[in-house]
Amino acid sequence: MKTRSRQYLLSLGVVILSVLNLQNCNAQTRFVQKTGALSPDTGLSPEIRKQVRGGRLDVQLYYPKSVQRFYEQNGYKPAWIKPQSGTGPAWQTMLMLDCVLQFGLSHADYHPQELQYSRLHDILDTPGKVKPDLQARFDIMLTDAAITIMNHLHYGKLNPELPASRIDKGMDMEFEAASYLSGALKEKDVMTAMANVQPKAKEYRAMQYQMHLMEGLYQGDCYEIPQEKVRKVAINMERLRWANTGDSVYVQINIPSYSLKLNLPDSTYQFKVIVGKPENPTPTLLSKITYFTTAPEWKIPARIFKQEVLPKALADNVYLENSHFAIYDQKGNYVEPLKANLANVRRSPDLYYARQSAGCDNALGLLVFRFPNVYDIYLHDTPEQSLFKKEERAFSHGCIRVEQAKKLATLLLKHDGSTAKITALHNGMTKYIRQDIYLKKPVAIKITYLTCEIKEGEYIIYNDIYSLDQSLEMALYGVDKPLSMR
């Protein structure tokens, strides 16, 4: 089969996605150049029903439950094996699978051995040449491939919070590929409908366009694109799919760039942050900021209490007082910091905890942004403002310290329509008054780990401070060694 040229793709016109502007997939031609005698459905529904309900293909399908739901919703009618022109839904979807490199994905994940151009040509252009059971199998495999690529584009292929088995159940999912595919097949431009499930965030769209250039437009034009760069963009597109919340207003902390971005409908604000040390990494997560606390007390995490606070208290009898720490037992009884008492605490540290009182030298500073998470981490102010002058800012035990915390809170309150609470925020911070200030509408917070970014067309690399790129590259590409180690 001959390679598709850009001139040929442009001549077809309808294959260019309005969203992605896909060109020159550098793959084998999947479009027919002439429309043959297309065979109508000659009783494929019973065969599809038998194969889907009989579970004969379950072990070969990536999303068997989703495929079954799709066919149940559509009366087991064939989705693709039906009369159509050379730009019909089957051909568009086959082209979409050809172009997966432009999405940072791999051909091997979409049944390439089953979904051959020549086989679809035989089915649609030569009635009776392919047996009904093989036609049904092709239809089912193409459905599974379409559902798979949409799930990969929307949720990511390796989403740690949403594995394929959970997505396949389709329960309580904000995007359900089987139902979406039913609607997409009614559209004239199926490819655009499928591509529209991707994240809408500006940083993702910039990376997707960069990938389109590298794996589409530049191919065959004497551009030398290092594969390390291609894979770097691909793994970070994957991470952005994990953070795909669909919110237009959100706070995003990116760990490798030591930055916080407040994205509002009409503007974006940037802040510097301090993140966890490699030995105490800040986790990635999705949550919602629900309220702030001014002049907070800090309940010290058990690990820090045992490994740092308690040893220092035993070595220095004024350490607790100077640091404004107090130790309590599990019933909340204050423990006098006497040498004998501290020795008892050291013998059973799990029965005690420490708190740091509010004040200008509190480790949490004068303000904490509260959001539920299983890691018990915070976004907070800090008394150590000088650390924000450093380029590399991985200093914390996992929590995130933000520069200009008051400005961030003020912006959130203004957007929330809660400007009346700004005075309380100011008073609480300046007079050390502990109070909780709630938002009317919680704001999404995304903590991401992006080691590259595309800003105004410029490719920017950040230090992989937790050394996570290599393992993700190996998993995403199914290789034993990442390119950087070869």
pLDDT the model gives residue 218: 67
Burial zone of 456 (CB within 10 Å; 0-12 exposed, 13-18 middle, 19+ buried) = exposed
Does residue 303 have a pLDDT over 90? no
Cross-strand partners of 435: 294
**pLDDT at res. 9:** 36
Say if strands 285-294 and 250-254 run parallel, antiparallel, or are unpaired.
unpaired
**Averaged over 451-478, what is the pLDDT?**
94
Q: What is the mean pLDDT of residues 296-313?
A: 86
C-alpha triplet 253, 256, 259: angle, nearest 5°: 40
First CA to last CA distance, the chain: 32
What is the structure's pLDDT at 300? Answer: 80
* Euclidean distance between CA atoms 29 and 98, whole angstroms: 9
Domain ranges of the chain: 6-198, 250-297+360-448, 299-356
Q: What is the DSSP letter of 162?
A: S
Copy the structure tokens of residue 157: 């292929």
pLDDT in tens, 256-267: 999 999 999 999
Identify the bridge partners of residue 253 per DSSP, sorted by sequence position.
260, 447
pLDDT at 35: 41
pLDDT in tens, 20-49: 455 456 444 444 333 444 444 558 999 999
DSSP conformational letter for 462: -
Is the pLDDT reported for residue 56 higher than 90?
A: no
* Fold entry, domain 250-297+360-448: L,D-transpeptidase catalytic domain-like (2.40.440)
Model pTM? 0.83
Residue 206 pLDDT grade (very low, low, confident, very high; cuts 50, 70, 90): very high
Contact yes or no for 381/400 (Cβ under 8 A)? no
Looking at residues 429-451, what average pLDDT do you find? 95
pLDDT of amino acid 458: 93
Are 123 and 139 contacting, i.e. CB atoms less than 8 angstroms apart? no
pLDDT of residue 191: 94
Q: Mean of the per-residue pLDDT values for the chain?
A: 87
Mean pLDDT of the 323-335 span: 84
CA distance to 9, 92, 171, per residue, from 22 (Å): 9, 12, 33
Strand partners, 444: 250, 288
